[in-house]
Structure 1
Amino acid sequence: MMLQLLGLWESVQDFIHTGGNVLYVVAAVLFFMWVLMIERYWYVTAIFPKTKRDIIAKWDAREDTTSWYAHKIRDCWISEATDKLDQRMLLIKTLVAMCPLVGLLGTVTGMIAVFDIMATQGTGNPRTMAAGISMATIPTMAGMVAALSGVFFSSRLEVKVKREKADLVDSLPHH
C-alpha cells in the first residue's frame, strides 16, 4: 500500500515537473472550487431542509396568512432562504471559468520557454523544444479537465438549489 502511494506521488511529481509550476495554480483553483461545491452540497442536503421546515412551521403557526403584511413577511423569509442557498454559487461559477484561463497561462509560459530555448540554443535540439511544448500543453489540458469536472457538478448543484427554492415557495401557500 505504501509503495503504491509512493508511486502515485512520484507520478504526480513527474506530471507537475513536465507541466510546469502553473499546475500548482490549477490544483489550488481546483481544490478551492471543490471545497466550495462540497460545502454547498452539504448545505443544500443537510442544513437547508431544517431551515425549510422551520420556515414552513413559522408560516403555518401564523394566524394571518392573507394580508399584505403577511405576504411581505413570507416574501422576506423566502428571500433570506434563497440568499443562503445562493451563497458562493457565483464564486463556484467563477472558479470553473478560471480553470481554463489558468491552463492558458501555462500555455503562454510554456511557449515562452520554447522561444527562449530557440533563442539561446537554436532549433537544432528537438528534445529541449519538446519539453517546452509539453510545458505548454499539459497545463491547458489540466485546466480543461478541471473546468469540465466543475461544470458538470456545479450545474447539478445549481439545479438542486433551484429545486429547493421552488419547493420552499410551493410549501408556503398564500391565500
Structure 2
Amino acid sequence: MPSLGGAAPTLVVHVDAADYASGSSAGWATIPGIDAPISASVASHTACTGTIQRVLFDEGRIVGISVTDRVFTVHQRRAIIARDKECLIPGCHVPASWCEIHHVTEHARGGPTHTDNGVPLCWHHHRTLDRSGWEIRMIGGIPQIRGPGWWDPDQRWRTPRATLDTLTRTRV
C-alpha cells in the first residue's frame, strides 16, 4: 500500500501471456511488501482505485509492459464528493471523503476517468458491488442506483438523496 503522501497503490501484475490473451482471471499478482502472491481477481479489486502496470511473460521472457493510470485526480475527487456527499448505496452514510471513487463503467471496459463516470463507494460496498445486487448507472453525469430485489421488489432506478439535495441547491 502507499507509503509516499497517500499516493494510490501501484500493482505489478504477473500473468502468463496466453492467460492474458484469453481474458482468463487465472494467474497471480504480487504487491510490494507482501510476500505471498494473490489471485488475479484480488489484484483486480485492489487495482480499481490505483495504477496498473502489466508485465506479460511468455516462457519466462518479458514480452510486454504497460502502465495504465486510471486514478481520479484530487480535483475530480473533490467534485464527486461535493456532488454525492456520501457512499452512493442507500442507508450507508460513510462520508464521500472517506470513500473510494468507483468507475461506473469499468476502466478496463473503456470507461473514462471522468466525473461523469465516478461515484463514491465505501470500502465494503466497493468490494462487494459485483455480487451484492446493487446496480449503478450514470444519466447525464448524475448517478442512479437500483437495489437488489430484497431492498426494492419493483427494481426502480433512483437518484440518491444526497445527490438530489445537491441538484436542488444548485438550481436555485
Fold-level match, TM-score > 0.5? no
Q: Which has the higher helix share?
A: 1
TM-score (norm 1): 0.23
Q: Choose 1 or 2 for highest CA Rg.
A: 1
TM-score (norm 2): 0.23
| Larger relative contact order (Cα-Cα within 8 Å, sequence gap ≥ 6) | 1
